[in-house]
Chains A and B, each alone.
Chain A
């Protein structure tokens, strides 16, 4: 079955630690995205990638980093520079191109900083 997987589902981090969230898709989509969702807030775009080996900052990229070495993978690292990292992190992908930018989401990772 085609889809998007994220791991882990829950992640606990001590302050000052970097953590990496995994996102894999087998939909053969060109574009991938990372969002953050806080209670009562809409989804906010962290980073996105339209093609392998290329990515752009979204609206709230500070304290995060990404890589796109393979089409199917787009890991997100939450660094110690991120001041308030506790949130629900969602990865998405889309086929890209005009009229094809519906995005499909993975199940998410809940990150809690202790």
Chain B
């Protein structure tokens, strides 16, 4: 099993659609979880951290299921500007600062 595995995509959706990204991780001792966004030929940027209780930031909702080792990101009312690659990222925590990145899922929102 890969350390961090994401839907391969790509996803093509119309404006206003709801889109969900799924991610699984293999290390049950993982401590921190994030979603990053990467625009074409740019650096990744932190979109949101993911907490056990789930968290929401406007149109974006992230969920974590530790028992299933599963992370999700939901985008509601998608905008053209949401078009990007979404990276699932898992941290080992503790004194080890290592983050493991999924390969990403490309989202294209169409007018």
Which chain A residues have a beta carbon within 8 Å of chain B's beta carbons? 31, 33, 35, 40-43, 45, 48, 50, 58, 88, 90, 94, 96, 98-99, 101-108
Contacts and interface: CB of A to CB of B under 8 A. Distances in A.
A30 to B, nearest CB: 9
Interface stretch (B38-46, B52-60, B62-70, B71-79): B38-46
Given A101-B93, A102-B32, A102-B49, 13 more contacts: A31-B97, A42-B87, A42-B101, A42-B104, A48-B97, A88-B41, A96-B97, A98-B31, A101-B32, A102-B46, A103-B46, A106-B43, A107-B42
Given A40-B103, A41-B103, A42-B104, A90 B93 contact: no
A31 to B, nearest CB: 5
Q: Which of B4, B43, B91, B103 has the most CB of A within 10 A?
A: B43
Nearest to B102: A42
Given A42-B103, A99-B32, A102-B49, A94 B43 contact: no
B44 A90 contact: yes
A94 to B, nearest CB: 6
Contacts of A90: 43-44
Nearest to A41: B103
Contacts of A102: 32, 34, 46, 49
B104 A107 contact: no
Nearest to A104: B46
Interface string B1-44: 00010000000000000000000000000011010000001111
A68 to B, nearest CB: 14
Nearest to B2: A42
